[in-house]
Structure 1
Amino acid sequence: MGRELTSDKVELHEMENDDFSDLELIYHVRDALISVPLGNRDNYDELVGHLHPMQRPTADQVALLVTTLKALSGAVSYIDIVHHEALIYAFIQVSRLSMWNYGTDVMDALLELIISLAASNGKYVDMCLDMLVRNFVPPSYFMKMLKQPCGITRKCEVLSRVHAALKDISDLVPLAPMRLSPIVVQRMPNVFSKEHEIVIFVENMLRLESGAIGEIVGVTMLPALVDRMIELDVEIGWDGNLQDEAKDIFDMELEDVAEPVDDHDNDDMLSKGSLRRKCLQGNLVAEKLDSLMVLTFEHLESCQSSGRLAQVFDVLLTSFQKTVLNAYKSKFTQFVMFYACALDPGECAVKFAMELADMFICKVNPPITRMSAVAYLASYLSRAKFLSAAVVTSILQRLVNWCYEYTMLHDVDMNPLAHQVFYSGCQAIMYMLCFRMRSLMDVPRLKLQLLNMPLEPILKHRLSPLTVCLPTVVEEFLRQAKAARHFTTSESFVFNDVLESDLSRAFGGMDRLDMFFPFDPCLLKKSDGYIHKYFIYWSMVRTTYDSDDVSDEGSGSESENEEAMMMGSYAEKDLDIESVLNRMSITPKNSLKFGNERMPSRIRPSTSPESL
């Protein structure tokens, strides 16, 4: 060493001014730390004083802080959690001032000390990780600057360093990533936080998921994000008038208004058609959820580009089964799964459908789970433009086979409460056929497979599913079956709307699963911008009773029809969801007629307060 450091009167700032070497500074700090248990605190107290944060430090004070932090990094092995409590507390206070307030020299020195301290002793790992995670979100007064060039630059400077430090600690302490995950989840802003706070925090969570330690923390980050989105989802309220209208569960929304009586009536229909979208305008909770879903969609796109989508999808699927599937009143979060499937129609999309079908068929699952699974399945297969007709037919065959076997084992009279799972399966079949019957019949081999399904014995069974299931679905199904001229059930069954109150509601029970269609059109504006090109709206559906009637043998070659069916047999075009919703109207239940009216594009449930 260049000179002896024996005097207790030597102070750190003096050493810096006298141009002492880094090694000499480290030895001075080491001696100050060692002296504390011996009763000599002069240099130690002076050292602690240099770490206390200042509101407007001078250039010399900043330089002294950097010097102190670097010297502590070199002597970190001498820091004792018992004897140097004041030093640790001061260090924590410096870090809590936020790195967003410091220049790059202070940031680098502070991060060097955090990394060194974490690597020196396992007792400090959690504390150091927490210091870093706290910097995921800038101070509130800094938020407005994030949209400016200087703010964007500072964001990059801070967060790139924070994530690099997390990686360094993970390399030095192999168990650190596992200890990081609960800290991140605990620090995640709650549903009442401001939108910009939760958004920037989630950006960092997704950066962790896709980063160098993503294989370890990814299984925690995505489920935690889904959990937070569900919490936001169920917090979304509705306009009071809408709640009053939603009490009639079976209100319908028609996308096509057939010859309105006058302009006043038409205006009224249009205003009702956009009511739900409008009631979300200015809803802060909905806006937070919308922003988080967009972040997740973009993350999924990056996972697809990097070849990680299948891996991430498995994590999302597990989270869906645990959190979303049985969530009460989930309105929009499920579209994360929908979008992931849309990005990978060959693998993820089919896997999701198969998992839902398995959950429904598995007797081990509780009835509530099976009913929810088949509701998701029916809505998904009906709305996903990216699913081929062959996949839809395959799943439909499984549902029909299960329902048929059920009727063979239960030759009893109708009992909505005792056979809820069966009725939910029957309703799912009819709902899917309302959307897909015509498209399946356009492919000769799929039409033959459909005709060979034992559907009619199920619907005519003593359990009487046509009487118990949701009347709006039953009516549309029968109308298409009659037009298709191959289900004699459609002509022999007399629809009795009076039975709806006692039977359909008994089938749904307290949870109202009889009317739960979770993939009804997404009403979140930004999220729908990602969803709509993969989505089937009712206005796009070709029904069996449309003017271009179905021929007996199908039209066109099988290969041509199959190719068309890969995208749901609907024309590829961008739809403006606003215009679609503005063409919808709400029609009271007692006005249902076959006439020229169309099937409900949305049966209110999935967005109504009374729904699941």
Structure 2
Amino acid sequence: MGVELATGKAGFAEMEDVNFSDSELIYHVRDALRLVPLGDTDNYNQLIGVMHHTERLTPGEVALLVTSLKALSGAVSYIDIVHHWSLLSSIFGMSMWNYGPDVMDALVELIISLAASSGKYVDSCLHMLVSNFMPPPSFLELLKHPHGIARKDQVLYHVHSALRDIADLVPLAPLKLQDIITQRMPNIFTKEPLIVLYAENMLRLESGALGEVIGSMMLIAVVDRLIDLDVEIGWDEILQDDSSKGIFEMELEDVEGTADDTEKDSDELPIECLSRKNFAGNIVAEKLDSLMVLTFEHLNSCIEGGRLIQVFETLLQSFQKTVLTAYKSKFAQFVMFYACSLDPENCGVRFAKMLADIFMGIQSPLHRMSAVAYLASYLSRAKFLSASFVAIILERLVNWCFNYCQIQDGDINPEAHRVFYSGCQAIMYVLCFRMRSMICVPHLKSRLLLMPIETILKHPLNPLKVCLPSIVEEFLRQAKAARLFTVSETFVFNDLLESELSRAFGGMERLDMFFPFDPCLLKISDRFIRPNFVYWSLVRTSYDDDDEESSSDEDIAQNYVAGGNRENIADDEIAGSFEEHEIDLDEFDYSLNKMSITPKNSLKYRFGGELRRPMQMPSRIRPSTSPESL
């Protein structure tokens, strides 16, 4: 086939028009490369000029570039890393985003040939391909249009095809690729489309032919970046950790005000006015939101491909190493929650058992306290977990706490027994959410009555005086209504709603106030969580039949989640989906954030003659460990 090398354009060296066959062109390029060490660089410089010409190529210029690249592919053995470094730099600096499919094909062919020809070029070839994970900054606007999306699909197809072929030809390439990808991963300050696109490529590798070798590292690296973004989100300037405030002044309550309330000065902003609207305009939160949506969609593809259990094992490893120990993690942990919701019988059960094992294991107290906080929040919030399974895990916690009491004869010591108190608080917290669903099932009610919970609570270690008063009060109120225990509901708390004992067992990390699966405030990714999430406003408590005030929308949701007033309910019915109820998502923001347990007509407490708000279920961590706003 004859190819005319038309030259004379700006940026090209002048030479006469010549017709070359493919083989003749290869010889021509070989001569150009061979003559460089001898000082003759005219044809070599022409070749470099072809590589540098990228903008508004005419059909003839495209043909010249394609044939030059193909000729170089047939002459790679003549390329010397020292004498031809300028040419190599030009090739490795080319962006496939600037070209059409023909040029991409020829460029990929050359990159593969270089990687296979010598070990000297493997790293550079991999770096070049990974650099094409993201487009040049000038291309970002085009990604919003069909033409840009089509170009993106073409580029990524060529990039991943080349990576796969190089891995087949060079056995060590996948491990080199793994290191290159993690090293080049964009930081948290990178623009949102770029960081999401880079992660998309990583997850594409995880599910592709190279996934068996580097897939787990790709997934772990993405989760690590979620954590990096998560902990970067700050709210301390809005809500100061004021020790003079009770936890109840920092909870989500009934939003009685108007939209104008949200325009108040941040120092005066009541916690009930904080919702996902506070995230609007927060760049870091928006990046995290988009990246979590990408991860959720990837998990969906994993279950469709029958790979979720395999991928979940990697997520468990990542969770134990980073998420469980991450200080101030607010949203990244919902990757685990969503994965569990996709396969409750396997992943959902596995996650709960792992958390219980960590709590009862020999790791550090902080690890164990964090694990049981995750466990309590997970058992309380996961709609997809049956009441029977929750009872099984709850019984493990109760038995551990009971055995602990059997070998302890001392008095209250929040610091020395902080793991024990965290276990007791977890038990009460879970029952605040799940007691009604258990007592509605006869065999579960019998099982619950046989648990030595009352013995634990009446032990001299006295967890009722150490755990968060709001949890204790709600638990006792429900226990009394259900006639489960004889522990008195009338418990005298300290003059501060948040007791010093509770503060002591939680420590500086305030793990006594750590409820990691509180409602997700990220606007887009929350839509994946919501159908399988138990909101407190939808929980049917053991005393609800006595309440006179309740909105119609909440009644519908409560009856659906808890099974109404039926006495005998199947476990799968208890975990029914809230998706069937058509509720406007914006209007539902209030419902999902309404965490007040104590009904409006409940007993109000007075201190120093001043009317105080009733005790309420703690909805969130203090601002030092969990967000209420941004």
Q: 1:245-265 deviations in whole A, cap 9, x for unaligned?
A: 7973612546558xx899999
- Determine the C-alpha separation between the residues in 1 that align with 2:198 and 2:439: 49
The offset of 1:548, in angstroms, is: 6.5
- Higher RCO by CA contacts (8 Å cutoff, separation 6 or greater): 1
- Determine the C-alpha separation between the residues in 1 that align with 2:316 and 2:70: 46
- Determine the C-alpha separation between the residues in 2 that align with 1:577 and 1:206: 30
The offset of 1:147, in angstroms, is: 2.2
Normalising by structure 1, what TM-score?
A: 0.88
C-alpha contact (below 8 Å) 1:521/1:537 kept by paired residues: yes
2:409 matched to which residue of 1? Answer: 411
The offset of 1:394, in angstroms, is: 0.5
- Determine the C-alpha separation between the residues in 1 that align with 2:27 and 2:422: 75
C-alpha contact (below 8 Å) 1:532/1:577 kept by paired residues: no
The offset of 1:28, in angstroms, is: 3.0
Q: What secondary structure is seen at the aligned counterpart in 2 of 1:400?
A: helix
- Determine the C-alpha separation between the residues in 2 that align with 1:88 and 1:247: 65
The offset of 1:417, in angstroms, is: 0.9
Q: What secondary structure is seen at the aligned counterpart in 1 of 2:428?
A: helix
Give the direction of change, closer, same or farther, for the CA distance of 1:592–1:281 in structure 2 (3 Å limit): farther
Give the direction of change, closer, same or farther, for the CA distance of 1:183–1:525 in structure 2 (3 Å limit): same
The offset of 1:497, in angstroms, is: 5.0
Q: Which runs of 5+ in 2 are unaligned?
A: 3-11, 548-563, 606-612
Matched, 1:122 2:119: yes
Give the direction of change, closer, same or farther, for the CA distance of 1:263–1:325 in structure 2 (3 Å limit): closer
Q: Of 193, 209, 213, which residue of structure 2 is paired with 1:212?
A: 209
- Determine the C-alpha separation between the residues in 2 that align with 1:534 and 1:305: 19
C-alpha contact (below 8 Å) 2:26/2:75 kept by paired residues: yes
From the two aligned structures, give the one with the greater helix fraction.
1
Q: What secondary structure is seen at the aligned counterpart in 1 of 2:621?
A: helix
Report 1:371-450 matches (<5 A): 371-450=369-448
Report 1:90-489 matches (<5 A): 90-93=90-93, 95=94, 98-238=95-235, 240-243=237-240, 248=245, 250-251=247-248, 253=251, 272-363=271-362, 365-489=363-487
Matched, 1:565 2:611: no
Q: What secondary structure is seen at the aligned counterpart in 2 of 1:20?
A: strand
The offset of 1:158, in angstroms, is: 1.4
- Determine the C-alpha separation between the residues in 1 that align with 2:410 and 2:476: 24
1:77 matched to which residue of 2? Answer: 77
1:605 counterpart letter in structure 2? I
C-alpha contact (below 8 Å) 2:369/2:511 kept by paired residues: yes
The offset of 1:187, in angstroms, is: 2.0
Report 1:494-573 matches (<5 A): 494-498=492-496, 500-547=498-545, 560-567=569-576, 573=581
Deviating more after overlay: 365-374 vs 17-26: 17-26
1:6 matched to which residue of 2? Answer: none
- Determine the C-alpha separation between the residues in 2 that align with 1:497 and 1:505: 14
Q: What secondary structure is seen at the aligned counterpart in 2 of 1:525?
A: coil
Give the direction of change, closer, same or farther, for the CA distance of 1:387–1:16 in structure 2 (3 Å limit): farther
Q: 1:72-130 deviations in whole A, cap 9, x for unaligned?
A: 1011122222332222223223x1xx111112222221111111101111221111111
- Determine the C-alpha separation between the residues in 2 that align with 1:262 and 1:210: 47
Deviating more after overlay: 347-356 vs 180-189: 180-189
1:582 matched to which residue of 2? Answer: 590
Q: What secondary structure is seen at the aligned counterpart in 2 of 1:370?
A: helix
1:8 matched to which residue of 2? Answer: none
1:87 matched to which residue of 2? Answer: 87
2:539 counterpart letter in structure 1? V
Q: 1:291-323 deviations in whole A, cap 9, x for unaligned?
A: 111111111111111111111111111111111
C-alpha contact (below 8 Å) 1:72/1:113 kept by paired residues: yes
- Determine the C-alpha separation between the residues in 2 that align with 1:419 and 1:604: 23
C-alpha contact (below 8 Å) 1:118/1:124 kept by paired residues: yes
- Determine the C-alpha separation between the residues in 2 that align with 1:322 and 1:272: 32
- Determine the C-alpha separation between the residues in 1 that align with 2:529 and 2:484: 35
Deviating more after overlay: 17-26 vs 222-231: 17-26
C-alpha contact (below 8 Å) 1:202/1:225 kept by paired residues: yes
C-alpha contact (below 8 Å) 1:384/1:536 kept by paired residues: yes
2:609 matched to which residue of 1? Answer: none
- Determine the C-alpha separation between the residues in 2 that align with 1:586 and 1:571: 20
2:148 counterpart letter in structure 1? G
Deviating more after overlay: 181-190 vs 61-70: 61-70
Deviating more after overlay: 497-506 vs 153-162: 497-506
Q: Which runs of 5+ in 1 are unaligned?
A: 3-11
The offset of 1:463, in angstroms, is: 1.1
C-alpha contact (below 8 Å) 2:196/2:290 kept by paired residues: yes
C-alpha contact (below 8 Å) 2:481/2:542 kept by paired residues: yes
- Determine the C-alpha separation between the residues in 2 that align with 1:261 and 1:582: 11
Give the direction of change, closer, same or farther, for the CA distance of 1:119–1:245 in structure 2 (3 Å limit): same
Deviating more after overlay: 331-340 vs 573-582: 573-582
Q: What secondary structure is seen at the aligned counterpart in 2 of 1:19?
A: strand
The offset of 1:242, in angstroms, is: 3.3
- Determine the C-alpha separation between the residues in 1 that align with 2:565 and 2:19: 90
The offset of 1:48, in angstroms, is: 3.6
C-alpha contact (below 8 Å) 1:137/1:200 kept by paired residues: yes
C-alpha contact (below 8 Å) 1:521/1:602 kept by paired residues: no
Q: 1:468-490 deviations in whole A, cap 9, x for unaligned?
A: 11111111111111111121123
Give the direction of change, closer, same or farther, for the CA distance of 1:245–1:496 in structure 2 (3 Å limit): closer
C-alpha contact (below 8 Å) 2:164/2:209 kept by paired residues: yes
- Determine the C-alpha separation between the residues in 2 that align with 1:396 and 1:218: 35
Aligned residues: 589
- Determine the C-alpha separation between the residues in 2 that align with 1:501 and 1:494: 11
Give the direction of change, closer, same or farther, for the CA distance of 1:79–1:324 in structure 2 (3 Å limit): same
1:111 counterpart letter in structure 2? V
Normalising by structure 2, what TM-score?
A: 0.85
Deviating more after overlay: 486-495 vs 120-129: 486-495
- Determine the C-alpha separation between the residues in 2 that align with 1:593 and 1:261: 21
- Determine the C-alpha separation between the residues in 2 that align with 1:464 and 1:601: 20
Give the direction of change, closer, same or farther, for the CA distance of 1:298–1:598 in structure 2 (3 Å limit): farther
Q: 1:266-300 deviations in whole A, cap 9, x for unaligned?
A: 99999852424232121111111111111111111
- Determine the C-alpha separation between the residues in 2 that align with 1:16 and 1:410: 97
1:393 counterpart letter in structure 2? A
The offset of 1:70, in angstroms, is: 1.0
Q: 1:162-188 deviations in whole A, cap 9, x for unaligned?
A: 111111111212222221122122222
Q: 1:60-80 deviations in whole A, cap 9, x for unaligned?
A: 444332222111101112222
Give the direction of change, closer, same or farther, for the CA distance of 1:564–1:496 in structure 2 (3 Å limit): farther
C-alpha contact (below 8 Å) 1:378/1:428 kept by paired residues: yes
